[in-house]
Chain A
């Protein structure tokens, strides 16, 4: 797939510069765009149960967000910011050193350089192949403690002060700390939405995928060749069982977030019995239209920027035309982009279509 297929115009003003609560809205009062082959409908997130048929299985990400942005200092370059992307285990981390939240760099760093990150001495080991802004570093002691002491949520230039506290980044499902950036598709869920889903016979299952720092724009002309970094994931047995049962019985499976699609697809077993199996490890699977999505029929997600690799994942879940029409609609209707913005329910699969049609959205 060509990079140009990820381009569209998104007016700069259409971005959430802070949590919806600042705009006087509850988490579940952000807008919800529902895109299916029936067209595009506009609602509030708390209306979600109306658009899902009984028997649907929603799969959510239990990863909690870390205060992964730490003040750092380099002996030659002076004060920097270090965004901790991923713990590889045993004191080895992948980190993005930056000039500041607004200025990524590039920074003239070399293997063997030392950095102070939040009071912890680290050594630069090697840049990540293909992604030289990310560095493997060896920490003298636990960066988790440094985060607890001196960390803040990672933020980018579009957020406005006062910056949201960590609690604003935790979803209702967040249980296991590990994400550098909020798995934001789950943010609009509230207890009342979950109660309404349960009352309608909609199931919930859990996976874990700890997100790294957000990927930059796709640079490779062929989207499939964009280097990706790996992220920790786990699909437990009971989630594998729940997804397999839904598939067997023809009930729709809807992922809450692109992270969930990647975790489930990473656990797909295309052996003699096609199924999702329990799996854990690291994945850098790129889901794009050349990789058929076998585990989900739809996706709840935020709105993604032009040239984001996530758009290729959306095109793998639903037809590209449907996604592009939906985005045109979102721009026309003034939806807000980014992690505190509005939500999008994308019903791509045939099963989801059929059920949605039968039961009626409203």
Chain B
């Protein structure tokens, strides 16, 4: 059976880049995003690699949609990677935290924190069966304390802690948080309305990291937080101690 990945926010930006990277390697894909037209267009292009691509449009914050995704994964019979990438910036333009509209903050937590955790729960048996990998997309805003980024940063800090906690609670699968770095994406543009973001690299710049991460034994990376654009990516200290035999 072909290896399979579930990618949220899979129609554009980083999610789409990773979808291409996996489809070209023969992975089956289950992709989701809110915009049905963009998602269907992405699916058509991804199918050119010859693999199975299922596209289900919807909002990851919607429990009914999440159950449809989980059912589709169960129907495929296998899931190797859960790529929790869909997220919301929250209120835009980015308000200072003291002035943040609370309903928007709660909604950001539903999309960026509750939804990824709920998806983990929904597909956990499949990930356990495959010895799979959960990737939670984080941000430097999770630790930066940048003015204006408080709402989004809070949700990503919470997702970082969720990743670490899940890594310690779940056996036999890997859980990592990944800060992809600044990228030239629609979301990044939304954070900087009217600004020229052409100096930011395209999401393809992160491919070497994904090539590395997906090839690592899960136990060597689980619980770690990575920066995809960093100049080094290390396995856990315990794995490093055994490096002589494993490299």
Contacts and interface: CB of A to CB of B under 8 A. Distances in A.
8 contacts: A89-B212, A111-B24, A123-B25, A176-B247, A236-B241, A236-B244, A237-B241, A266-B231
Contacts of B95: none
A129 B205 contact: yes
Interface string A277-312: 011111111100000000000000000000000000
A123 B26 contact: yes
B214 A92 contact: yes
Interface footprint category on A = 35 or more
Contact of A279 (B24, B216, B234): B234
Given A94-B211, A230-B208, A281 B24 contact: no
Nearest to A208: B247
Given A88-B211, A283-B231, 4 more contacts: A92-B211, A126-B24, A208-B243, A282-B208
B94 interface: no
Contacts of A266: 231-232
A125 B232 contact: no
Nearest to A229: B208
Interface string A85-100: 0011111101000000
A269 to B, nearest CB: 11
B25 A283 contact: no
Given A92-B214, A178-B247, A126 B204 contact: yes
Given A208-B247, A284-B232, A88 B26 contact: no
Interface of B: 20-21, 24-26, 48-50, 201-202, 204-205, 207-208, 211-212, 214-216, 231-235, 237, 239-241, 243-244, 246-247
A356 interface: no
Contacts of A233: 247
Contacts of B201: 129
B183 to A, nearest CB: 12
A128 B207 contact: yes
A281 B232 contact: yes
A90 B215 contact: yes
A47 B211 CA distance: 44
Contacts of B26: 123, 138
Given A230-B208, A280-B239, A89 B24 contact: no
A154 interface: no
B247 A112 contact: no
A335 to B, nearest CB: 32
Given A125-B21, A125-B25, A89 B215 contact: yes
